[in-house]
A = this chain, B = another copy of it.
Amino acid sequence: MRKYTTELVGTYFLVLTIGLAVTTMNALAPLAIGGILMVMVYAGGHISGAHFNPAVTLAVLIRGRIGRADAGGYLVAQVIGGLAGALTSRLVLHDTKPVELSLSGREIWMALLVEALFTFALAYVVLNVATSRSHPDNSFYGLAIGGTVMVGAVTVGGISGAAFNPAVAIGGATIGLLAWSAIWIHLLAQAIGATLAATAFLALSEDDREHVRHR
């Protein structure tokens, strides 16, 4: 329960920050979004591993560092946290109508592509900096994970909304930043990106792959 609560708290602040910063179109929004993920990862990593993202939990499941039952608990906590963050953002900014990202035709496929690519990058970074046996006590894991989302928010925010995270996609649709009718794009792309990242990690990190096999 301590792990699930930590996941809920971190995802809550992630989606709250996205809601507040993106709805008001703050010029520094990508820094705030990458920043809140970074600080919540540093705060919660020692308790739950600090996923705050069902796509990351999926990648960690494939990589063999979390069990199926626990992954289900993480997913529920993340979605509840994300929804609560979205509702808080709407409550606070009830006078400000967010601009909903509108996608049609070719834009849909490009959104799918960049969501898959940056979800791959995020899960690939998480697995390498936070689950590899090469640098067990490093101090950079939160900076690397938050930094990846900052980069994605700057570069593809206008193309896909830059969610890279099903809890953020659901929260974003609740806030009104993404269309519910287009949420399949995010969920599909994120599942593909996370699965490919876990596959790539296991192929590239020989030692860690052995570890999974023999236990």
Contacts and interface: CB of A to CB of B under 8 A. Distances in A.
A36 B134 contact: no
Given A44-B128, A92-B113, A138-B139, A154 B29 contact: yes
Contacts of A28: 30-31, 154
Contacts of A30: 28, 31-32
B117 A43 contact: no
A32 B154 contact: yes
A2 B39 contact: no
A99 interface: no
B128 A46 contact: yes
A13 B121 contact: yes
A138 B117 CA distance: 29
B151 A117 contact: no
Contact of A140 (B40, B42, B124, B150): B42
B203 A148 contact: no
Nearest to A33: B151
Contact of A129 (B42, B129, B147): B42
Contacts of A141: 42
B139 A39 contact: no
A27 B156 CA distance: 13
A211 interface: no
A31 B150 contact: yes
Q: Which 7 residue pairs across A and B have the least CB separation, nearest first?
A: A46-B134, A139-B139, A32-B154, A43-B128, A42-B144, A20-B155, A35-B151
Given A20-B159, A42-B140, A47-B128, 8 more contacts: A2-B204, A2-B206, A26-B155, A36-B151, A39-B121, A138-B139, A140-B140, A142-B144
30 contacts: A2-B203, A2-B204, A2-B206, A5-B200, A6-B204, A9-B124, A16-B155, A26-B154, A26-B155, A30-B31, A31-B150, A32-B154, A34-B35, A35-B148, A35-B150, A35-B151, A36-B151, A39-B147, A40-B125, A42-B125, A42-B141, A42-B143, A43-B125, A43-B128, A46-B128, A91-B113, A92-B156, A140-B140, A140-B142, A143-B143
